[in-house]
Amino acid sequence: MRVPAGPVTLQADRDIDLVKCGMRPQFVASSDLYGCPIAWMQNKDLALSNRNLVLVVDDDSSTLKGLKRLLREYGYDSKLFQSARAFQNHSDFEQAICIVLDVHLNGDSGIDLRHQLNQAGISLPVIYITANDNHATRMAAMESGCIAYLTKPFSAKSLIEPIKRAAAGLA
């Protein structure tokens, strides 16, 4: 289910099992995602952004599944790619907030992939993740213009904070 593009009618008295979702909103959007309310708004005049998608590129299927679950928990949709090649075949970047990109992708470089995106005119914010951190890689990632560089394992907060900045247009 996609997030509505325009204003959402809010119902404060809607009968939803909020305990199951683990959230306590002041207002709840009339649509829901995965059985839980999709918008937790304190100001009922706010409209939902139609940009809610995080693109994730990692060659490890466990990492992809975990990130999908984490992003869903924080209200983000995700599109998963298990290789640089699969990602290179993707062409719809309009709804994406950012890209979570593994540095090492089975012989391909996430940093090189970032440069290819820039050359193609795709300037989405990038959050690099890696299990093999070293100074040279970190410097190359920073020079490529990433908004965050995370070493696996990383906390949910360290990933969600830069995504929130990207969604707010602050990245």
Cβ contacts of 147-150, under 8 Å, gap ≥ 24: 147/98, 147/171
84 shares a domain with 60: yes
The answer on 93 and 63 residing in a single domain is yes
40 shares a domain with 58: no
Looking at the fold, whether 91 and 136 belong to one and the same domain comes out as yes
Q: Which of 12, 29, 48 delimits the end of a domain?
A: 48
Helix (H) / strand (E) element for 100: namely strand 96-102
Q: Are residues 33 and 73 in the same domain?
A: no
- Domain total of the chain: 2
What tens digit of pLDDT does each residue of 62-117 get? 999 999 999 999 999 999 999 999 999 999 999 999 999 999 999 999 999 999 99
Q: Residue 11: is its pLDDT beyond 50?
A: no
How far is Cα 23 from Cα 20, in angstroms, rounded to an integer?
A: 8
Helix H or strand E encompassing 151: strand 148-151
What is the domain range of residue 119?
53-167
* 91 and 135 housed in the same domain: yes
Per-residue pLDDT of 17-48, as tens digits, reads 322 333 333 333 333 333 333 333 333 223 33
